[in-house]
Structure 1
Amino acid sequence: MENCQQSSTAEIVTVDVQKAKDLIHSGYPYLEVRTEEEFKKGHVGAEKILNIPYMFFKPEGRMKNPKFVEEVSAAYNKDDHLVVGCQSGARSLKASTDLVNAGFKHVYNMDGGYAAWVENGFSVKKPSTEMPGEIVTVDVHKAKDLIHSGYPYLEVRTEEEFKKGHVDAEKIVNIPYMFFKPEGRMKNPKFVEEVLAACNKDDHLVVGCQSGARSLKASTDLVNAGFKHVYNMDGGYAAWVENGFPVKKPSAAL
């Protein structure tokens, strides 16, 4: 069976979803003519894709987009090869007809639309349903295991505290969450920005301070900023030292 057939509407080529996928993956732009609301729920996974609705769904019924051809003409040249798709193939056929009548020379209507694309198991893009990251508070033994397995250790005490002694970790970075000023404690206003410069949001981070209080606040800020894997070390450096785990201190050389 041919996978490409001439539609009764002149110069519109209707292609089955497999052929459409081949064209899209070869670099043809995909013109998605469903509504913005439909598009946001999920759409064809295409590198070159543009959503220009052919119709709007209003409380009083469907209304054709009066600027459809104008909007497509602003985005594409009439010599471009366009694959046009909707939900089932009905709107895209009408849209393709309007485009051909407006002078577009290479229009491919995707038969079956997005429904057929999904039915065939082809790649789609949908809004992320991933839940925000969660703070996991771990005891100092678990923290040590994570650090020694290669997880970076984010030390959020002050630079002065850090220099006096800190967790012995291969991957360690000191970014203070607070500064101790003569007038009192002041939160580091660039804390999240500085962590973002040093770590990725997908990194697994063990966060520690002196006792676990600052690190919990720091962990909360990181999760709220989009970090997905944050482990707050309960008890902090004090618990680490109390358990006799390895530390690094300034040299006491004479």
Structure 2
Amino acid sequence: MMDKWIFSRNGGRHMFFRSYADEQLSQYSYMIACQKTGEAIVIDPARDLTPYIETARKEGFRLMAAAETHIHADFVSGARQMASDYGAALYLSNEGDEEWKYEFTDGLSVNLLKDGDVFMVGKVEFKVMHTPGHTPESISFILTDRGSGSAVPMGIFTGDFVFVGDVGRPDLLEKAVQLQGTAETGAGQMYDSIQVFKQLPDHLIVWPGHGAGSACGKSFGAVPISTVGYEKANNWALKEMSKEGFHEELLKDQPEPPAYFSVMKKVNKGGPNVLANETIPYVEHLTDLRAYMNRSDVTVIDTRDSREFAAGHLKGTINLPYTRIFTNWAGWLLDYEHTLAVIAAEEQTESIRRSLQSIGLDRIAAFVSPSVLKEADALEKYRNIDAERLKEQYSKEDVYVIDVRQQREWDEGHIPTAHHHMLGDLEEEAGQLPKDKKLIVHCQTGARSAIGTSLLQAKGFKNVENLLTGFDGWEKAGGPVEQGDKEEKK
């Protein structure tokens, strides 16, 4: 949760505002309520409704509505859940072509929106502005607090259109959903949308859908809000430039989209499953876990700290430490058709469950106590090494150094003789790796490489080590660095 604003006029309360942040997904959502009527709306709600419910109960609001800026690709929307649990009216885009229309509207109270439409929640006004570019159906909402007597708008909810310091990438449909040609089309639409945005009043607050760490752009600022005027002065995408120059700059150096983005688009378009309060068993004995491990459709993930995992883990398990990067890499690396058994401390299970469900990983068969490892006859291990140890080995013929960072990181500098296999592609490219050499895995700081090392061990590579200090440690130790383009893969 980020902040809470209550705006007043002449001692009377009129509009309530609160923003929420999912730090693992760098996703923002917002609750706006009319203090006069008690009606509340959530903009781009996350799937876990708990924070909104708690706020509504505390403040005495009714969750009357949910609005979406577009069909999301990076998390499961909570709009359908709100409609099911609270009878909330949905405000959804009706812009774009037939390829990107919502398909779950039957039987629900749905308002399909076009550019220029206006709707009210109590005395708070929302005006729709069609802002295609990131996606064809993308819309923004301009807010005016009519209850306070204001005739001028206060701010704009931009979703994935304008961020602090950046704009939404237009290439996701092409890269993640394989809709060819949509990147160029989206770049042109984004340029045109920006020209309209630049005509808005400078004082308007900009409330974006994401912050630093999201894969929906490439150069986010770390500040969660901005203004139209500030972005016009400082956002690279709002500078004066030709349409051709804008195209080139916008499409250049965008990060690799996580593999699960294509799944999220389909889920949010067709309608997410409505969650029920089902109890997930907590397994405390190895024999019970073995029953799951013997099934071909079950993946076992271990959420312990990577150093604990390296010191001893069950064969075939994948280490996804429950840190800020957990959700992103779970979506990238786990099979949505598989059921999960999750090794985790009992006090973390509900939080982990919400994180997995936030990206549609709903098939959780059981949580498992880390104490089951004490019952195992033998545990696998791997060695963590530092930069000095790698410097002794890296140029030897029997060592294969794997860099799992993203393309831009590799291009900016990498270890000579290293081989680039980005973590999200590592399982698919495992067949290219030598079986007769020691594999040494590294990323920037050691977090992603620990995941990669566990993945390789689970795939049957046993002679594998992790550079605990990462590329940062390599540079600090004076290791040689070279720059270059993408490595050609066989």
Q: TM-score range by the shorter chain?
A: 0.3 to 0.5
TM-score by length of 2: 0.21
* Larger RCO of the pair (alpha carbons < 8 Å, separation 6+): 1
TM-score (normalised: structure 1): 0.40
